[in-house]
Amino acid sequence: MRHVATLAGVGIKTVSRVMNEEAGVSEATRTKVLEASRQLNYQLDVTAGSLRRAGRRTLSVGLLLPSVSNPFSGEINRALEDALSARGIAVFAASLDDDPQREQSIIAAFLGRRVDGLVLTPIAKNQSYTIPEHSRDLPMVFIDREPVGVDADAVVTDNAIGAAKAAAHLLAHGHTKIAYLGDRTDIQTARERKRGFLEEIGRAGIPSSSVPIRENLHDEETARQAAIELLTSENPPTAIFSSQNLVTFGTMRALKELGKNREVALVGFDDFTLADMMDPGVTVIAQHPDRIGVRTAERLLARIDGDQEPPRTYVVPSELIQRGSGEIRPPA
Amino acid sequence: MRHVATLAGVGIKTVSRVMNEEAGVSEATRTKVLEASRQLNYQLDVTAGSLRRAGRRTLSVGLLLPSVSNPFSGEINRALEDALSARGIAVFAASLDDDPQREQSIIAAFLGRRVDGLVLTPIAKNQSYTIPEHSRDLPMVFIDREPVGVDADAVVTDNAIGAAKAAAHLLAHGHTKIAYLGDRTDIQTARERKRGFLEEIGRAGIPSSSVPIRENLHDEETARQAAIELLTSENPPTAIFSSQNLVTFGTMRALKELGKNREVALVGFDDFTLADMMDPGVTVIAQHPDRIGVRTAERLLARIDGDQEPPRTYVVPSELIQRGSGEIRPPA
DNA sequence: ATGAAAGCGCTAACAG
DNA sequence: CTGTTAGCGCTTTCAT
């Protein structure tokens, strides 16, 4: 920057003004500076500037995801990127893998980079989210989980309502024996989905004690086994609601293996690629990770910009997508 | 840091040494400093340090992807994260969307953050990759594309060999009329795949002029239409090789619509989730984005560490995965 | 409209 | 083994 100033024959502060597009520079000097910086291939150093910038803004935020390779996370990452890059904010993403220790060190690493904000997406099992005391005033938005011990915004899917929609849909198609296949009970969203599902079943006058429930299914294989057990029991369900993608996949496998994929109805929570290409197409309660990401970005930016409203939780509605599997009727 | 030094009753440099785990600090003072930093919730500022650090390392790298929401990109991103975080290096990822303008501004943004290296993943159509002259000596690794105009390492899949394997597989199952459905011809990898495919066909003594070829298919819908045209022509192919995921999806749709999914063989380039759940399971030439990512990280770190070897291209082998669709035999 | 000086938090270089 | 000084590239503050 000094070099540019010298070459342009102006003070260093003028160069700073031009590079930051601040007002109060005559068009003539602006041109001079721009020309000089072009000649020298000069590029403003964002990080160096952060050292003195008001509020020490680094123009970067940290994003904690289950894994950057997970499709749901990817969508959120992308939506966030789009919203934040428009403001010149870059995002550091990191994968948690449900490992509390990893979580700690990632948060520490992000704090060490003085990020302007944090987005936390603990969709899976992880319980901790121990934000260091001293960074409680860092702008933060939680996704899919109500923050505990921190005052912060959250953006969540209407898990209970979505699950209730699934139940209502199956009930409307004549099912009365609908099984619930769920994720680990220590996951808040899983509990919400179960609650919504059972409440809707209850509203239909069906005692929840008669609902086949299998929980703590954490991967395709355990889900598949649970589904097979259910489906081969003496009084098998005529429909299944699966609370999460991997559980849905496992259930699909079980149905196919047993040749029941066209007999037993299935509604899964969470959409996935090629769901419409399955046999039959899989009816799902779709979340909208893109909208979640957009809303998250909006809240994070508001907080970064000094919004002092009391934190609240924003709900992004889910959507029932009919593709065939959820419209199968029970045998007469 | 000054505060910590004062509290611990030591010089600021000693604190720096402790925080950076440098040698030459007595255990006693080390403990004192650590205790003080704990009391003050002190966390080393990585970016501030970069200002004076040898080589001005920012301990961050930039990653340009087609889109962070694309599964292939996600895998690479993840592998990179794992390898780099072990060295305390954080990664900025950004999505290109095949937009050369966006590419330019992202590179500029990364340079403005003084990243220690760049990984460029231009899997798709994008042609430009105009790296500014002055950053030619920045450590850089290209993925899936030989760098043009820059001396840099590249990590690629064995596209031609993989495609040849697909052709050989179909030939071995008795097919002689195998169609090629390909992506845009301005994409290097697409050309490579076509070449490998046709060469293998040629080796079998089949004139390439008799091979039905449809190219410049850039999404599911155009691929679907092309496949339908081919399959409803007077002399339809008995097998199809699709050069890329979206093309494979479109082809699958076409086959299903025409009720030919169990008659016409299909091998797709690139693996995808639930490929085994299709009817029939889809045989693919799988790439290994994780291995690509690992190798990329290894090269990037080597360059960052000063490796001066002449740049070269590293090939990661693809793998044929049989799932049913590729093992369909032609009608007798 | 422009610039000079100070200093952000840190590390390199050099003392001691 | 430890500390002092200088200065990285920038923005703030305050002059002019």
Instruction: Give the DSSP letter string of B75-132.
Output: HHHHHHHHHHHTTT-EEEEEE-TT-HHHHHHHHHHHHHTT-SEEEE---SS-------
Q: With pLDDT > 90 as the criterion, what percentage of chain A qualifies?
A: 86
Angle between helices B71-85 and B289-304 (to 10 degrees): 40
Cβ partners under 8 Å of residue B130, min gap 6:
B100, B103, B104
Say if the Cβ atoms of A273 and B273 lie within 8 Å: yes
Determine the length of chain A.
Answer: 332
Q: Answer whether A185's CB lies under 8 Å from A215's CB.
A: yes
Phi, psi angles (nearest 5°) of residue A105: -70, -30
3-state secondary structure B166-191: HHHHHHHCCCCCEEEECCCCCCHHHH
CB distance B67–A44 less than 8 Å? no
Q: Report the alpha-carbon distance of residue B288 to residue B242 in Å, rounded.
A: 18
Task: Note the pLDDT of residue A40.
Answer: 92
Distance, in Å, from the CA atom of A58 to the CA atom of A304, rounded to the nearest integer, reads 11
d(CA A310, CA A332): 54
Residue B186, Cβ density class (10 Å: 0-12 exposed, 13-18 middle, ≥19 buried)? exposed
Q: Cα separation of A168 and A183, whole Å?
A: 20
Check residues B204 and A151 and name the one with the higher pLDDT.
Answer: B204
Q: Cβ of B47 and A113 within 8 Å? A: yes
Helix A220-231 vs helix A245-257: crossing angle, to nearest 10:
50
pLDDT of residue A225: 97
Which run of H or E residues covers position A222? helix A220-231
B59-80 average pLDDT score = 96
- Protein side of the strand D interface (CB < 7 A): A 1-2, 12-13, 16, 19-20, 44-45, 48-49, 51-54; B 9-14, 17, 23-26, 28-30, 51-52
Question: What is the predicted pLDDT for the residue at A132?
Answer: 83
Q: Are the beta carbons of B179 and B197 closer than 8 angstroms?
A: no
Pair of tokens at residue B125: 């159509």
pLDDT of residue B130: 76
pLDDT at residue B234 tops 90? yes
List the structure tokens of B318. 């693809």
Query: Please, what is the angle between helix A289-304 and helix A71-85, to 10°?
Result: 40
Provide, rounded to the nearest whole percent, the portion of chain A with pLDDT above 70.
99
Confidence of residue A332 (pLDDT cuts 50, 70, 90): confident
Q: What is the pLDDT of residues A217-253, one digit of tens each?
A: 989 999 999 999 999 999 999 999 999 999 999 999 9
Mutate to test the interface with A, among B20, B39, B64, B69 (most CBs of A within 10 A): B69
B92–A90 C-beta distance less than 8 A: yes
Q: Pairing between strand B153-157 and B117-120?
A: unpaired
Assess B43–A contact: CB distance below 8 Å, yes or no.
yes
- Torsional sign, CA B41, B46, B48, B52: positive
Q: What is the DSSP string of B57-75?
A: --SEEEEEES-TTSHHHHH
Query: Is residue A97 within 8 angstroms of chain B, CB to CB?
Result: no
A44 has a chain B CB within 8 A of its CB: yes
pLDDT confidence tier of residue A123, bands split at 50, 70 and 90 = confident
Which of A260-274, B115-129, B273-287 bottoms out in mean pLDDT, i.e. has the lowest? B115-129
Query: How far is the C-alpha of B65 from the C-alpha of B74, rounded, in Å?
Result: 9
Give the residue-averaged pLDDT of A264-290: 97
Q: Strand, helix or coil at A285?
A: strand
pLDDT, tens only, B157-185: 999 999 999 999 999 999 999 999 999 99
The answer to whether A94 faces chain B, any CB pair under 8 Å, is: yes
Tell me the mean pLDDT in the region B93-112. Answer: 93
For residue A112, give the nearest of B43, B71, B113 by CB distance: B43
- Does the CB of B172 have a partner CB in chain A at under 8 Å? no
pLDDT of residue A134: 78
User: Reading across the β-sheet that carries B178-181, which strands appear in turn?
Assistant: B213-214, B178-181, B239-242, B265-269, B283-286, B319-321
Q: What is the pLDDT of residue B289?
A: 97
Could you tell me the pLDDT band of residue B122, with boundaries at 50, 70 and 90?
confident
State whether residue B285 is helix, strand or coil.
strand
Give the mean pLDDT of A81-110: 94
DSSP A105: H
Query: What is the model's pLDDT at position A87?
Result: 95
Across the A:B interface, residue pairs with CB atoms under 8 Å apart total: 129
Q: Looking at the C1' of nucleotide C3, which residue has the nearest alpha carbon?
A: A11
